[in-house]
Structure 1
C-alpha cells in the first residue's frame, strides 16, 4: 500500500511540474514596434537564438502573445527567422493590440489612442495625373528621365478631419485659394534646401501647388511651412525608398491589382499597413494613394508606426494601369 501511495504522489508531482512548465502563453493580436536592437530569442529562459536574429528599430512585428499578465517578454513572428516565432524583452519596444480580438486587458496604454492626431497623406502617380491634366506646367515638361516618371509625387499631407482647413488664414487668401488663383497666394518661408527637395518630389510646384497646400492644409498642421514640407517630404521618401515604389516602377505599362499594392505595403511597413491605403483610380489608371496615418509626426517619424495606429479604409477600384509617361 505504501508503495502505491508513494507512486501516486510522485505521479501527481510530476504532472504538476509538467503543467506548470508548459503553461500556455497569453495570446494577443496586434503588433510589436521595436525601439531597440534586441535579440529575438527562441527561448528567453535558455537564451537560445538560432541565426543570431536581432530586432530592427522602428520595425513592426506581428504580435502573438506574452508570457504573463505583467509581461516581461512578448512573443512575435520574425519574417526571415527560423523558427519564425521568437521571444523579445518587453523593454525593447511597445505593443499595439486589438483588444476585441485578443480579449485580454494588457494593462498597457500602448493601444491606439483616439486622441492622437490623424492625417491623410496623398501621393500621386504623376504620369496618370498628367494624362488627365495635360496643360499643367509640370505635365508639359514631363519626360521619362525625370524623377516623377518612376516615383510617387507629393500631393499633400492633410490634417483630419477634412474640415480641418484654413487655420488662421485671411478671407482674402481663402478666396484666392478657393478660386484656384494660387499664383497670388503668399510665398511660404522655407529654406532653399527644402525648396529644392520639394521641386523634385512635388512637380506641382510649377503650378503653385505648394502655395495651395500650405494655405489650405499646412496652416492646420504646424506653425511653420518649413516643418510642414520637411515632414511631408520625409514621409513620401519613405514610400519611394520601399518595395511599394519598386513594384510600381517594375510594372509601368501594366495593370496591377489593388490587393498586390496592399501586400507590398504589408511587406514594407508591417502586417496590416496595406489596409490603411485607399487606392484611387480614374479612367482605368491608378492616379493616387490616399494613406491614413495616426500619431504625432516629427522629422524622424517611422511610417510603420503611423500606419499601424490608423483606421482601415477601402479603395474605389480593384485594379488599374500603371501609366507610363506620354499621352495615350
Structure 2
C-alpha cells in the first residue's frame, strides 16, 4: 500500500469561496448498489466536479442544500471523490475496517459539500484504499490543496472554447501536469461536468487512459457560470 507516500503538499490554492461548514449530527447510511470488487490498485483518479453546472437545477433541493443553496458559500470546482484504479477496472465496496464519524464529515464539507457524498466516497472507494476514513480524506485533501485552479469563469467567456482549452488551462496552472494527464467530462450537450486528474500508484500525475480522458481536445465545450 502506497497511500502514505503522499507528501510535499504545496500551499493551498484549490477553490473555496468563504465556505461555512454546517454542523453534522449523524452519518448518512450508504447501501451498496453494486457487488463488491477487490483487485490490486495501479493508480488513482481525483474527480473534480464543476459545481455551478451541478447546482443549475438543484438550488432549491433540500438534498443538495449545503452545495447549492448559497447559505454555506459558493463553490466552483469541488471534489467528487478520490478513486482507486485497477488494471482493467476499479475496486469498489470493500469491507470497512472503521466507520465514518459526523466530525470527519464536517471537516470535509468545504472540499466535498455533501454529507451523503462524503459518506458514499468513503464506503465505495476509500475502504478499498485504507483502513481508516481519516487517512483517505487526509490524502484526498493533500492532493486537493496542492492544486491551482484556473479562472474558469473567465475562460468560459472565450470564443471557440474546447475540451482541449479546458485541459491546457489546468496544465498551465499546475507545474508537473500535462494535458494528457487531465480528463474532461462533458455532458451530452457539451457543458463541463467534471475534471478527472489521473495519478500513478505513488500519487504522481500519470497519463489518462481513454475512459478517463473523456472528451477529445477539439470537441466544442461550454462552462456554465453560476458563481
1:234 matches 2:142: yes
Tell me, yes or no, if structure 1 residue 250 matches structure 2 residue 177: no
For residues 171-213 of structure 1, give each alpha carbon's deviation from its aligned partner in whole angstroms, at most 9, with x where no partner exists: xxxxxxxxxxxxxxx96047x4x544411111122xx111111
Is the aligned partner of 1:159 residue 2:84?
A: yes
Which residue of 44, 56, 60 corresponds with 1:131? 56
3-state secondary structure, aligned to 1:278: strand
Larger radius of gyration: 1
Corresponding residue for residue 131 of structure 2: 223
Q: What is the rounded CA distance, in whole Å, between the counterparts of 2:122 and 2:223 in structure 1?
A: 29
* Gap regions ≥5 residues in structure 2: 1-7, 11-39
1:295 to 194, 201, 207: 201
Q: Tell me the residue number matched to 2:166.
A: 261
Equivalenced residues, count: 181
Q: CA RMSD in A?
A: 3.4
Q: Summarize the Cα distance change of 1:249–1:187 in structure 2 as closer, same or farther, 3 Å threshold.
A: farther
Q: Which secondary structure state, in structure 1, belongs to the residue aligned with residue 185 of structure 2?
A: strand
Q: Deviations over 1:134-168 (max 9, x none)?
A: 534237743398241xx310100010124301112
Which is richer in strand? 1
**What is the rounded CA distance, in whole Å, between the counterparts of 1:123 and 1:311 in structure 2?**
15
Question: What is the TM-score normalised by the length of structure 2?
Answer: 0.66
Map Cα deviations across residues 229-254 of structure 1 (whole Å, 9 max, x no partner): 11112212222xx1xx2331433566
1:285 and 1:167, CA in 2 relative to 1: closer, same or farther beyond 3 A?
Answer: same
- Which one of 185, 210, 214 corresponds to residue 315 of structure 1? 214
Q: Once the 2 structures are TM-superposed, how far is the Cα of residue 323 of structure 1 from its aligned partner?
A: 1.2
The alpha-carbon distance between structure 1 residues 266 and 195, as it changes in their structure 2 partners (threshold 3 A), is: same
| SS of corresponding position for 1:200 | coil
2: CA distance, partners of 1:121 / 1:143:
25
Residue 100 (structure 2) aligns with: 188
Distance 2:119 2:83 in 1: 14
Question: Deviation of residue 312 (structure 1)?
Answer: 4.9
SS in 1 for 2:150: helix
Distance in 2, Cα, partners of 1:58 & 1:128 = 29
CA distance in 1, matches of 2:67, 2:92: 30
Conserved 8 A contact 2:79-2:112: yes
Residues 286 and 323, structure 1, Cα contact 8 Å, conserved in 2: yes
Distance 1:125 1:270 in 2: 22
From 181, 186, 198, the equivalent of 2:108 is 198
Aligned ranges 1:1-328 → 2 under 5 Å: 117-131=42-56, 133=58, 135=61, 136-138=63-65, 141-143=68-70, 146-148=73-75, 151-161=76-86, 162-169=89-96, 188-189=100-101, 192=103, 195-205=105-115, 208-239=116-147, 242=148, 245-252=149-156, 256-270=161-175, 273-282=178-187, 283-297=189-203, 306-307=204-205, 309-313=206-210, 314-316=213-215, 318-325=219-226
Distance 1:58 1:197, change over 3 A: closer
Preserved contact between residue 142 and residue 325 of structure 1 (Cα < 8 Å): no
- Preserved CA contact (<8 Å) 1:122 1:289: yes
